[in-house]
Amino acid sequence: MKKTKIVDLVESVDPYVRETRGYLHQYPEISAEEFQTAEWLKKEISQYGLVVEQASKTGFIATLDTGKPGKTVGLRADIDALPVNESEINMVGPKKWLSKNPGAAHMCGHDGHMAILLGSMRVLDRLKDQLTGKIIFIFEEGEEISSGIDEMVSLLQTKQLDAVYGTHVTSFMPTGKVSVDPGPVMAGGILVEFDVFGKSGHGSRPDLSINPLFATAQALAGLTSAWSNQIDVSKTVTLGLTQIHGGNVNNIIPDSVFVGGSVRCFDAAEGEKAVNVIKEVVTHTARAHLCEAKFRETTRIVSEPVINDAELSNLAKKAIASSMPDSLIEDQQWYASESFTKYAQVAPILFAFCGVGNEGLGTTAEHHNEHFDLDEDGLKAGVNATVNFAVDFLLNEE
């Protein structure tokens, strides 16, 4: 198949992709509550006559069957927004699109992911007579809280997929750049939650109480040296403690203090080791202050690292190089975590990063930030990379 034809088709759907992203950005819905989003997506998909199957409360798949034997590839987008209020400005000025739903906003780019997948669907539908096999378009519920991934995986395990491909827009990469590196590309996530228990009392007589605040403070300070001395320096592991809650009155020593956060790693074994370090330091430091530390059952691995298949990576790199010269960049890793890793239970996976960062337009804010925005010029590269990968995978073209 001529690459120029694909480029022309991608160009022709670009206005639709931008319009779609704009609409979805204005009407976000938080994880596991994407009912109107799902219905709108299905209405858009209905024009292609695809078979739609429900996977979870709002997650679903739509299958394009070419009617010819061949491989089956899954193309995935997540559909949920974050429970935050959006700022009207990005890093330099007013945003083009704003959420109209208070308390919900697409501050991670999932509106872009849906737009890319719908644009890719439109192109692939026009090419279906020249393709073989099947394409399963995956619309995943609640990626931010992993509410729909297990049910989606269960459904897909009945479909005999040969590969699953996904896209994530990235504000840390320049607009139009695409990365499909092999190996670990997104970190595994480990939730950390624990309580330090002491003995409550009046603030005027700390000697009659057991203050968990001091024990907690010493434990957290001790973690800094333990981290630098016990974690393998060749396997970066990040410790992001994000909340401490203890007491609410100035003259009363509380009974307990709660600490929460997460560990991120690209090596699962080193991540587990890091959690053991946390437990040892916190437990023994608390005991030294006559307190007791208890880790909650929620302290566990939430997601494994996303590890791209080497063969799929090589195929995608060739597809990008042939269709978008100078767009491919390498050595990109992201310390955020993603439910996409679970698709490896279904088939080999490939997760592409698509740059939407533009300093001039102010679209370089971190993800999950109220100022987050994306450069819509980058969506075209996402559609191009998705379509070319799907075509080359199904036809074994290079």
**Rounded-to-integer distance, Cα 199 and Cα 184, Å:** 45
Label residue 69 exposed, middle or buried (CB < 10 Å: 0-12, 13-18, 19+).
exposed
Tokens of 364: 């370089």
CB environment 23-62: b (16+ within 10 A), e (fewer):
ebbebbbbbbbbeebbebbeebbeeeebeeeebbbbbbbb
**Rounded-to-integer distance, Cα 178 and Cα 332, Å:** 10
Say if residues 78 and 110 touch (Cβ distance below 8 Å): yes
Tokens of 64: 């394009």
CA 9 distance to own-chain centroid = 28
Binding-site residue positions for Mn(2+)? 108, 110, 144, 168, 368
Written as one string, the DSSP assignment of 82-116 is: BSSPPPSB-SSSB-S---SSTT-B--SSHHHHHHH
Binding-site residue positions? 108, 110, 144, 168, 368
Which of 297, 277, 281 minimizes the C-alpha distance to 289? 281
**Rounded-to-integer distance, Cα 341 and Cα 338, Å:** 6
